[in-house]
């Protein structure tokens, strides 16, 4: 079964988790990059990112070259913004809604505080399907030792 991990990462937590999962499962990865970068520091980071998530914005993404027909399973990874998934994920799902039908879908959220479960629920609703499995990782990059076991446990669900 071929697996693709589609993720957006602002501060590196989701990138770290996606790379760890790919290494453990042999999955391919696709990092989503918005054409207009989000602020990554201070008040602007929280204000504009939160507003974008709450307003269900769909930022334009840099071109990516992937054929979803080559994959049986898609794993989404994202940071939690205002108890929601990051908007680049919404853009990807909207752009590829037909190609995602019939795929087994998994997801993970990276958070600093809370809201991960709610964000996963919102993504599930957008996709119109339940996940094969999901996970919430809290600050995986800064907590490599403790988050490693969480990532290991989730990776086993992908095998």
Whether 143 has a pLDDT exceeding 70, the answer reads yes
- By the 10 Å C-beta count (0-12 exposed, 13-18 middle, 19+ buried), 113 is classed as exposed
Give pLDDT tens digits for 49-77: 777 888 888 999 999 999 999 999 999 99
Which domains are seen in the chain, by residue range?
3-158 (3.40.50.360)
Give the tens place of pLDDT for each residue, 85-118: 999 999 999 999 999 999 999 999 999 989 999 9
Q: How confident is the model at residue 149, as a pLDDT?
A: 85
Instruction: Label the pairing between strands 84-85 and 73-81.
Output: antiparallel
Which pLDDT band holds residue 35 (cuts at 50, 70, 90)? Answer: very high
pTM: 0.94
d(CA 143, CA 119) in angstroms, rounded, equals 21
């Amino acid at each position: 079964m071929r697996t693709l991990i589609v993720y957006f990462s602002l501060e590196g937590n989701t990138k770290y988790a996606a790379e760890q999962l790919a290494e453990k499962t042999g999955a391919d990865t696709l990092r989503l990059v918005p054409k207009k970068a989000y602020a990554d520091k201070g008040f602007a980071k929280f204000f504009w990112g939160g507003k974008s998530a709450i307003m269900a914005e769909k930022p334009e993404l840099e071109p990516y070259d992937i054929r979803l027909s080559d994959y049986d399973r898609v794993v989404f990874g994202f940071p939690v913004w205002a108890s929601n998934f990051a908007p680049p994920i919404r853009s990807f799902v909207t752009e590829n809604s037909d190609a995602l039908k019939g795929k087994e879908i998994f997801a993970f959220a990276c958070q600093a505080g809370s809201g991960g479960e709610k964000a996963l629920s919102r993504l599930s609703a957008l996709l119109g399907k339940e996940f094969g499995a999901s996970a919430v990782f809290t600050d995986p990059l800064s907590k490599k030792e403790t988050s490693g076991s969480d990532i290991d446990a989730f990776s086993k669900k992908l095998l």
